[in-house]
Structure 1
Amino acid sequence: MSTVHAGWPRDGHEHVFLGGDHRRNETRTWLVIALTSAMMVAEIVAGTVFGSMALVADGWHMATHAAAMLIAALAYLYARRNAHNPRFTFGTGKMGDLAAFASAIVLALIAMAIAWESLLRLRAPVQIDFNQALAVATLGLLVNLASAWLLREDHHHDHGRHHHGAGHPHAHAGDDDRHGHDHHATGVRDNNLRAAYLHVLADALTSVLAIAALLGARAYGWLWLDPAMGIVGALVIARWSWGLIRNAGAVLLDYVPSGENLPDEIRLAVETRTDRITDLHVWQLGPGHHGAIIALASAEPRPPSFYREKLSRIHELSHVTIEVEPAAA
């Protein structure tokens, strides 16, 4: 029986499965936090000096917004600093999905808070200073649009990558090829960035709905429109939150989505009349990186490098363990 298995760094081999845009996304997240924090301080100071409770309230709202995005930024930082830590057996590529799951929970709580506050205001409407509230909502919207632009996902694809990049499954211990696999996948969804982007988008949505409600209330005296729009916004944010919980949770639980055809690609690449896969496990290691454990039964067993070469065209595979056994007569 021939086996290809993972080794520790002492075997000349590391497990770094960060997304190709990890550094860029980390930098942009910190920039958005800085922008939001500056806006927060300006609103709280201005509101205190000029006696505007609307400005003060929005300033503290910005503070919770920045704190939520801090989860994403710290996850990027931790994953990068511990990328070469051998205690993380398959690297720190999933750190972003863990942070995204936490952020999605926070987003759901925000949606619940908005809905509750809106219901209270429907029961007991409050007087609104329309001009001041519109100015604050417009200013908040501009900051959120700038933040959303910084956190946008660039959908570019680099299939060439590194010469021994993510598309080159690796042999270890049972093979002479001992290069490390410090790959950076590009053109894939980063759930951590998605979480930060949704926080910004949620804030922008509430600003847009607030502006529409304030204009309607000022023109027609419909005070109920403001809390009604709040409930609409809460429902939309809750839906975004659920989608993020589902996507990030699937990665954390090594769930293979129904639309994922990587297992089928592996079978097509490896199986022949004499070679049959008896056990196959595929999971995500990080953005654009997947691992696979393949057990083969072969009537004509070949060395692991033979099957590794067959899998080299599958760019998403970054770490492969292959076990080959003679097929029963």
Structure 2
Amino acid sequence: MVDNKHSIKPWQHQHQFSSINIDGERNTRYVLYLTVITMIVEIVAGTVYGSMALLADGWHMGTHAAAFMITLFAYHYARKHADNPDFSFGTGKVSVLGGFTSAIALGMVALIMLVESTARFFSPHQIQFNEAIVVAIIGLTVNLVSALLLKDHHGHSHSHGHSHSHHNHQEHAHEGQDHNLRAAYLHVLADALTSILAIAALLFGKWYGLTWLDPLMGIVGSIIITRWAWQLLGQTSPILLDQSIEEMYRNKMTALIESEEDHQVTDLHIWKISADHYAAAISIVSHQPKEVDYFKEKLGSFEQVRHLTIEINTCHDTKCHQSIR
């Protein structure tokens, strides 16, 4: 066995790209407690007082409680496995996966609301308006408090340092998308919307006898919530599927490399490895190629790329021999 006494540390990469949102995680836990308590109260009250809007709000909050559990689990899992080498690029996509899963749950909530509300058009129930309105207002109050707890943190997170050989970044605070918490925030907004529609339907039903508004508001709410779920799926699915960065960014990087005489880019991939960080793999061919470190330094201005791998191919006459450095 060869005794390798050389230190390889200068050429090694850090692979921790997960974001830690301590405040968001703590506040999500508070929101979960509030949601579970309110859910129980609304389901019982909706059953007793005969309000479909109130029942929909209660069951809706129940599914959101499950979504908040997904959010908290994602935070815990990402933190626990932050330094696990089994994850090629760390656990940066765990929060994205949590947001994607919660978006599906949000869509299921909308579907259940749509089915139940449509059924109530053909089979209306007697509603005890005064009691139902009081409970709905309580639910809305809880939703608004929950939204305030999550609002200031659903778009901000604090990252670990990302020290690499090509940028030598220092540990820093980073603002970016926390799709996991954004999903929780949208669930809270959906709850608030359902509560507002329930209160409106109950008031008009009490004052003007328009009881058909109760199931109608459930249908309107389901449509709006479906739109939110679709938007969240649209934000998270490209990251999970390793969608490439925009073409303009790739073209700028290619142009910079090929500004060097007799250097061409033969392959270039740039994809997200977390909600906010990109990795790049680039292949370059030349008759007299420059060193890998030269290109890493040259590409240092492309700050969105946190993990850069460069492959150099040396071309001799008409035949090229691959040399990976």
TM-score, scaled relative to structure 1: 0.81
SS in structure 2 of the partner of residue 286 of structure 1: coil
- Relative to structure 1, the CA distance from residue 157 to residue 264 in structure 2 (aligned partners, 3 Å threshold; closer, same or farther) is farther
- Displacement, 1:233? 0.6
| Matching residue of 1:69 | 68
- Relative to structure 1, the CA distance from residue 104 to residue 45 in structure 2 (aligned partners, 3 Å threshold; closer, same or farther) is closer
Whether the aligned pair in 2 keeps the contact of 1:185 and 1:287 (CA below 8 Å) is: no
- CA RMSD between the two structures: 3.3
- Relative to structure 1, the CA distance from residue 56 to residue 272 in structure 2 (aligned partners, 3 Å threshold; closer, same or farther) is closer
Whether the aligned pair in 2 keeps the contact of 1:14 and 1:84 (CA below 8 Å) is: no
| Matching residue of 2:265 | 277
Please tell me whether residue 263 in structure 1 is matched to residue 258 in structure 2: no
Aligned residues: 305
- Relative to structure 1, the CA distance from residue 328 to residue 84 in structure 2 (aligned partners, 3 Å threshold; closer, same or farther) is same
- Displacement, 1:187? 2.4
- Displacement, 1:270? 2.9
Q: Distance in 2 between matches of 1:230 and 1:61?
A: 11
Q: Distance in 1 between matches of 2:268 and 2:156?
A: 30
SS in structure 2 of the partner of residue 295 of structure 1: strand
- Displacement, 1:115? 0.4
| Letter of the 1:314 counterpart | F
| Letter of the 1:145 counterpart | L
SS in structure 1 of the partner of residue 144 of structure 2: helix
- Displacement, 1:241? 1.0
| Letter of the 2:66 counterpart | A
- Displacement, 1:276? 2.3
Identify the range of structure 1 (24-33 vs 303-312) with the bigger mean alpha-carbon deviation: 24-33
Whether the aligned pair in 2 keeps the contact of 1:65 and 1:199 (CA below 8 Å) is: yes
Q: Distance in 2 between matches of 1:38 and 1:150?
A: 17
Deviations 1:123-181 (A, max 9, x none): 111111111111111111111111112222556799xx99xx65x7535xxxxx9x7x8
- Displacement, 1:236? 0.8
Structure 1 spans left out of the alignment, 5+ residues: 1-7, 172-176
Structure 2 spans left out of the alignment, 5+ residues: 1-7, 318-325
Q: Distance in 1 between matches of 2:118 and 2:67?
A: 24
Q: Percent identity?
A: 43
- Relative to structure 1, the CA distance from residue 284 to residue 227 in structure 2 (aligned partners, 3 Å threshold; closer, same or farther) is same
5 Å-filtered alignment, 1:152-231, equals 152=151, 170=165, 186-231=174-219
Q: Distance in 2 between matches of 1:64 and 1:202?
A: 11
SS in structure 2 of the partner of residue 120 of structure 1: helix
| Matching residue of 2:120 | 121
Q: Distance in 2 between matches of 1:237 and 1:245?
A: 12
SS in structure 2 of the partner of residue 278 of structure 1: strand
Whether the aligned pair in 1 keeps the contact of 2:13 and 2:165 (CA below 8 Å) is: no
Please tell me whether residue 288 in structure 1 is matched to residue 288 in structure 2: no
Whether the aligned pair in 2 keeps the contact of 1:17 and 1:183 (CA below 8 Å) is: no
| Matching residue of 2:237 | 249
- Displacement, 1:271? 3.0
TM-score, scaled relative to structure 2: 0.82
| Matching residue of 1:4 | none
Please tell me whether residue 143 in structure 1 is matched to residue 131 in structure 2: no
| Matching residue of 2:108 | 109
Whether the aligned pair in 2 keeps the contact of 1:255 and 1:283 (CA below 8 Å) is: yes
- Relative to structure 1, the CA distance from residue 137 to residue 14 in structure 2 (aligned partners, 3 Å threshold; closer, same or farther) is same
- Relative to structure 1, the CA distance from residue 266 to residue 220 in structure 2 (aligned partners, 3 Å threshold; closer, same or farther) is same
- Displacement, 1:47? 5.7
- Displacement, 1:328? 6.1
- Displacement, 1:117? 0.7
| Matching residue of 1:92 | 91
- Displacement, 1:215? 1.4
- Relative to structure 1, the CA distance from residue 97 to residue 124 in structure 2 (aligned partners, 3 Å threshold; closer, same or farther) is same
Q: RCO higher in 1 or 2 (8 Å CA, sep ≥ 6)? A: 1
SS in structure 2 of the partner of residue 17 of structure 1: coil
| Matching residue of 1:5 | none
Whether the aligned pair in 1 keeps the contact of 2:289 and 2:314 (CA below 8 Å) is: yes
Whether the aligned pair in 2 keeps the contact of 1:94 and 1:285 (CA below 8 Å) is: yes
- Displacement, 1:268? 4.3
SS in structure 2 of the partner of residue 279 of structure 1: strand
Deviations 1:238-265 (A, max 9, x none): 11111212221111111136x5743234
5 Å-filtered alignment, 1:32-51, equals 32-40=31-39, 43=41
Whether the aligned pair in 1 keeps the contact of 2:279 and 2:307 (CA below 8 Å) is: yes
| Letter of the 1:92 counterpart | T
| Letter of the 1:16 counterpart | Q
- Relative to structure 1, the CA distance from residue 151 to residue 328 in structure 2 (aligned partners, 3 Å threshold; closer, same or farther) is farther
